[in-house]
Amino acid sequence: MIAPAPASSDFPVVIAEAVQAAVGLSFESIFGEPPASTEVDNQGASFARMASVISFFGAQPWALTLVVPEPTAVAMALKFTGFDVTFDSSDMGDVIGELTNVLAGEVVAQLARRNIQAQMSLPTVARGNDVEMLRGKGAATQRLSYESSQGQFWFELSTAPSVQRMCRTSGTAARA
């Protein structure tokens, strides 16, 4: 099972706000309506999941993981592509990776509007029941959970303190 990171209050608020804005805009343009933020935390525990990670680098290194339980992934894929995509296919990895990619593009734009420059990596996608997202020691994390007409999904946001330390060591400007 993909272990959700515990919520941490010290994740940068401005980044979390940019992600929330990007989720609303991106998902509305893809699925026709923005998803509803939820505090419910049962997160489709009995289902296999897709997890797609994109890293952001710039002044503040951090990473976003989109976690999508199987029924949500299948419904999202149909709506996004217009054709059936089975959960176990390689196409499903493409779909969830591409959804994360589209969202991340909007996140970069939202951050730029908040005077934070960032670049994004390509998505890395995992599928399974027993995937654990490991965090760097001292990383600040935050979970954003959503309900949509396609089902539940959530994001785990995490800073990357090890990258920050590397940047400082090599003399590159970095902000905590």
Q: Is 34 in the site for other proteins (CB under 8 A)?
A: no
| Residue whose token pair is 């960032």 | 118
Candidates 104, 139, 160, 174; binder of other proteins (CB under 8 A) is 104
Contacts to other proteins from residues 64-103, by CB under 8 A: 80-83, 85, 90-91, 94-95, 97-98, 101-102
Q: Which CB sits closer to other proteins, 33 or 132?
A: 33
Q: Is 170 in the site for other proteins (CB under 8 A)?
A: no
Q: Is 120 in the site for other proteins (CB under 8 A)?
A: yes
Q: Which CB sits closer to other proteins, 45 or 112?
A: 112
Q: Which amino acid is at 49?
A: R
Give the nearest distance from C-beta 8 to other proteins in angstroms.
28
Give the nearest distance from C-beta 71 to other proteins in angstroms.
19
Exposure of 16 in the CB half-sphere (CA atoms within 13 A) = 19
Entry field: residues in the chain: 176
Residue 72 and residue 149: Cα distance in Å, rounded? 9
With 0-12 / 13-18 / 19 or more C-beta atoms within 10 angstroms meaning exposed / middle / buried, residue 20 is middle
Query: Strand 118-120 to strand 151-159: parallel, antiparallel, or no bridges (unpaired)?
Result: unpaired
Residue 83 and residue 77: Cα distance in Å, rounded? 8
Q: Is 29 in the site for other proteins (CB under 8 A)?
A: yes
Q: Which amino acid is at 51?
A: A
Helices 70-81 and 90-113 pack at an angle, to 10 degrees, of 80
Q: Is 106 in the site for other proteins (CB under 8 A)?
A: yes
Q: Is 124 in the site for other proteins (CB under 8 A)?
A: no
Q: Is 122 in the site for other proteins (CB under 8 A)?
A: yes
Q: Which chain residues interact with other proteins by CB under 8 A?
A: 26, 29-30, 80-83, 85, 90-91, 94-95, 97-98, 101-102, 104-106, 108-109, 112, 120, 122
